Amino acid sequence: MSKYTLLALDMDGTLLDEDQRVSEDTAQAIAEAQAAGVTVILSTGRAIQNAVPYADQLGLTGPMVTVNGGEVWKNPQELYIRHLLQRSSVSKMLELSEKYDTWFWAYSTERLYNRENWNGNVEQEDWLKFGYFNEDDTIRGQLLDELRTLGGLELTNSSPHNIEINPLGINKASGVQTVCDLLGLDISQTIAVGDSLNDIAVIRHAGLGVAMGNAQEEVKQAADAIVASNIESGVAEVIRRFILT
């Protein structure tokens, strides 16, 4: 049996292809890993409602890490722990979106908002994650500078053109560590796979950190191994190289 007993998979750019689908090869490899006794979990920046359909498709009934570690679920129906942004920080992030005229989104515990549908009340909802999208490198750099000045924030991305914000210290590494604690596993028994900056912490923390072939360069540099891209079923390669051997 593999020395790795937990496989933590990012979704966008990793598990999913460019059409938001799981390839047949990847789905088959995940089924084989589960049959071999490995627990496969989703470790994603998405909210639970956007991740559960894929968990159901793949027959994943165990823990889940969502919104970059902002939530850890015992199973797709049962929340274990939740970490919230300070409302004052969310208010400031909204101000920055106006200052820099940039698109944004925000996950509350109730729903997903963005610039086009913003009607949220910052003081009446609980906030899990905030994000910006802007293709202008200069504007993103200015936003990052201001966010760092605010302090108390975990700053990552899920694509080269966005910024994702969680409470400081809350990331996929903290989420997967919580799952390990729940399952009585050591983090050294975990393989973590991803492609973006929001995956770096867990890639560094896991027993084996794997970057997809399409990963950002900084992620590849942090990883122990690099596999094929998300459109080439790189997750299936992870399973066959490091679990089913």
Q: Sort strands 162-167 and 127-133 into parallel, antiparallel or unpaired.
A: antiparallel
Q: Which two tokens stand for residue 110?
A: 């109730």
- Between CA 126 and CA 116, with CA 198 as vertex, the angle to 5 degrees is 50
Is residue 101 among the annotated active site residues? no
Which of 196, 221, 232, 176 minimizes the C-alpha distance to 5? 176
Q: Which of 10, 12, 195, 199 is flagged as catalytic? A: 10
Alpha carbon distance 136, 131 (integer Å): 15
Tell me the angle at which helices 87-99 and 137-150 cross, rounded to the nearest 10 degrees: 150
Instruction: Concatenate the DSSP letters of all residues of 118-147 into one string.
Output: ----TTTS-EEEEEEE-S-HHHHHHHHHHH
What kind and span of H or E run contains 87?
helix 87-99
Quick check: 230 and 13 in contact, CB under 8 A?
Answer: yes
Q: Which two tokens stand for residue 57?
A: 């498709």
Positions annotated as catalytic residues are 10
